[in-house]
Copies of this chain bind each other. A is one copy, B any other.
């Protein structure tokens, strides 16, 4: 009511607003409250010191005008240029591993009022580059990425812009890039050793694309225990259920089929299991998979796995990134999250024996 008469410029502004359904700005609030725009900024950001009286007046004005702070404009002028967003490049937001990781990052970010942008690379370095470029153009404060095989250039580009980057799930050898991975070699080796101890000698290994770091690591873990497995029992470059099914069927048709399978990945495990089940062999041929999956315990026999903890990976990645955003400036850190073997039956089947082990012995708690 008693607000001073608007200046010419403001009149123009208000005309435009009416036309374009523009939003309420700090200037509008300042005018209504009869204070300077700087004071409004102080109240909104709760910085500096403002008389309680004025605080009230400003808040009142903001309320009646329906003022909404513009984080975009704010970050543009702010000294640190922070946008309060981090970007997450996953292989595929819809797969269980990725989305569990996503959730953990999201939670850690939300705790600090940080938003997360995400996208799926589908293992394409090209797509990954596009994503990182768009994210940096949107001025994300930091980047968490599950790097494709050739992510180095992309990541270095982001680093050059001064944006902290954390690589998760897969190793990247770059200074100043923190990494979070699991003990792929060790986990696979332990599972392989277990099968060896059960008498298995003809153990097939089915792995994912060799461009994927984890796939190479797991394979290395396998060969450390079974260095002399015939090449016919080794299949790599498997990236879908169907591919795994075909490969499994082929091996079962061999004159000397394997007595056990180790799978380097979820979808492969499922494909192998499907074929075993179709052939009625799920209780005679052992199967151990890397990475747990829902319902693995409901199948009969349950599927034994080397379980990773994607939520832990995500939480750790977020922790590392946030510490960088908080100013930490040390050399690259490399966290390794342990895996856990879960015995459910399929990985406890003895070689050559006709009978499955007693159910009670192999039963493990669900997930």
Interface residues of A (CB under 8 A from B): 21, 23, 66, 68-73, 75-76, 83-85, 92-96, 98-100, 102-103, 106-107, 110, 113, 115-120, 134-139, 160-162, 270, 273-274, 277, 293-295, 298-300, 366
Closest to A139 in B: B72
Offer 20 A-B interface pairs, CB within 8 angstroms, sorted by A.
Answer: A66-B160, A68-B137, A70-B139, A92-B103, A93-B106, A94-B96, A94-B99, A94-B102, A110-B119, A115-B117, A115-B119, A115-B134, A115-B135, A270-B295, A270-B298, A273-B298, A277-B298, A295-B295, A295-B298, A295-B299
Given known A-B contacts A72-B75, A94-B100, A161-B68, A116 and B115 have beta carbons under 8 A apart: no
Kindly state the separation between the CA atoms of A138 and B118 in the bound complex, as whole angstroms. Answer: 15
* Distance to closest chain B CB from A76 (angstroms): 5
CB-contact partner of A102 in B68, B93, B138, B270, under 8 A:
B93
**Please, which residues of chain B bring their CB within 8 A of the CB of A134?**
113, 115
Q: Are B72 and A76 in contact (CB under 8 A)?
A: yes
Closest to A79 in B: B20
Q: Are B83 and A72 in contact (CB under 8 A)?
A: yes
* Distance to closest chain B CB from A98 (angstroms): 8
Q: Are B161 and A138 in contact (CB under 8 A)?
A: no
Q: Are A103 and B115 in contact (CB under 8 A)?
A: no
Q: Are A21 and B102 in contact (CB under 8 A)?
A: no
Kindly state the separation between the CA atoms of A71 and B295 in the bound complex, as whole angstroms. Answer: 44
Closest to A266 in B: B294
Q: Which of A23, A73, A298 has most chain B Cβ within 10 Å?
A: A298
CB-contact partner of A136 in B68, B113, B366, under 8 A:
B68
* Distance to closest chain B CB from A279 (angstroms): 14
* Distance to closest chain B CB from A162 (angstroms): 5
CB-contact partner of A300 in B76, B103, B113, B300, under 8 A:
B300
CB-contact partner of A76 in B69, B76, B118, B137, under 8 A:
B76
Given known A-B contacts A115-B119, A270-B298, A138 and B85 have beta carbons under 8 A apart: yes
**Please, which residues of chain B bring their CB within 8 A of the CB of A113?**
134
Kindly state the separation between the CA atoms of A71 and B137 in the bound complex, as whole angstroms. Answer: 5
* Distance to closest chain B CB from A18 (angstroms): 13
* Distance to closest chain B CB from A314 (angstroms): 10
Closest to A109 in B: B119
Kindly state the separation between the CA atoms of A342 and B141 in the bound complex, as whole angstroms. Answer: 45
Kindly state the separation between the CA atoms of A100 and B120 in the bound complex, as whole angstroms. Answer: 12
**Please, which residues of chain B bring their CB within 8 A of the CB of A118?**
106, 116, 118
Q: Are B137 and A120 in contact (CB under 8 A)?
A: no
